[in-house]
Amino acid sequence: QILQRLGRDVRNLRLFFLLCVLCHHDLVLNGGMLTTGGICQRKNADATADNRMFVSFDGGTIRKADATASLFTYHGVNYTNPTHVVIHKGGATIDTNGKKNIIVNSVLEGATGKGVKSISFSGSWPCVAPPVVEIVDAEGSGYGAAAVVDFDAGSREIVGIRVVSPGCNYTKAVAKFYIYNSYVRPTESAIDCELADNENTGAFTKAGEGDLALQMPNTYGGDTILAGGELKAAVLGAIPTNSTVVFAGGKLTCTEGVSMPLNYAVDAVAAQERGAAFEYSGDLTFPDGAILTVRRAEELGELQKPMPLLRVSGTLGGKPEIVCPGLDASKYKVTWHGNTLKVSPNLGMLLIVR
């Protein structure tokens, strides 16, 4: 509720939970930084009926506070993963904070279907305290929407309603208000919400030293930004097919059997400091007819020696044709050196594998 109320007003908030964030409802992170050992939901007394708990990112950072392995579960049989972890268009950042062997074993979902755009109200709603808002889907199975009420303590009236998380997959969203006209049992009121299509464009950023393993197939629709440390693609689909991997100081690794990402945008200077931006451990075979298209995305600084874009530790089969449209052949050269693809001179490149 604290993070929901802040919404987009505070961007530099830092909250510290050294053990874990334990939620029975939703966690909305729209900015600032949340430092915690883990995020999880607690099971009800009836172990067959877990609480529904959603984590919604629309900006902001979760920073790992301790060395326990999982970010989205915690020790003990009474705790379980959030029901959904959704990345909206503002994106999500996970900072491993120098910790090793940290894992994400919840799906990092893209924002799908329709979400709540706004909630309009008219008239005067006198109340002694800000109403509690609950958004439900009257006709479908939408989830994750949240709103807060702007309240004038002097006049004791509602002055606005802000949607802090649009949620996903709503058919008919209804906002239920629990209004305290006195210090006794609240009265209830309901307003239909305006819906809009979600934009599945939110980026996922891996920040900080240390390493993070993605252990589930993910569906977020934005870039995968490596801003520090190492990101491990541990399963097929860990990096969504349509996500561009942006190397901005971090490194990506994956093992045999995990498909390599298709799109690359490389910060040449940062990648040079790390060695190859992408390391593939095992044998890699390109399909027949595959074409590597190398384009200059943005000039980020020249280097004095070739930069490795991709290094394969095992056998490299089916080396694809390399096409460099729009690049001056007298200045730019992209070639294989054994099992390593290098570009020289070293500028920011976008590499697309078809």
Residues of the chain under the 70 pLDDT cut: 1-25, 42-52, 74-79, 123-124, 181-186, 256-257, 259-277, 290-305, 307, 325-332, 345-354
Q: Which two tokens stand for residue 46?
A: 């009836």
Q: What is the pLDDT at residue 326?
A: 60
Reduce the DSSP state of residue 286 to 3 states and report it.
coil
Cα–Cα dist 106/194, whole Å? 30
Q: What is the pLDDT at residue 7?
A: 41
Give the ranges where the chain is alpha helix by DSSP (H).
Answer: 2-6, 268-274
Question: Token match 């007819």: residue?
Answer: 289
Q: What is the pLDDT at residue 271?
A: 46
DSSP-derived secondary structure letter, 46: S
Q: What is the pLDDT at residue 220?
A: 96
Cα–Cα separations (whole angstroms), residue 122 to 125, 161, 162, 214, 329: 9, 11, 14, 46, 65
CA dihedral 221, 135, 141, 200 (to 10 degrees): -10
Contact 50, 82 (CB under 8 A): no
- Which residues are 64's β-sheet partners? 36
DSSP-derived secondary structure letter, 271: H
Contact 62, 39 (CB under 8 A): yes
Torsion region of 338: left, alpha or beta (phi above 0 gives left; psi -120 to 50 gives alpha): left
Question: Token match 């040079």: residue?
Answer: 272
Phi, psi (rounded to 5 degrees) for 266: -115, 130
pTM (2 decimals)? 0.77
CA dihedral 5, 17, 95, 218 (to 10 degrees): -70
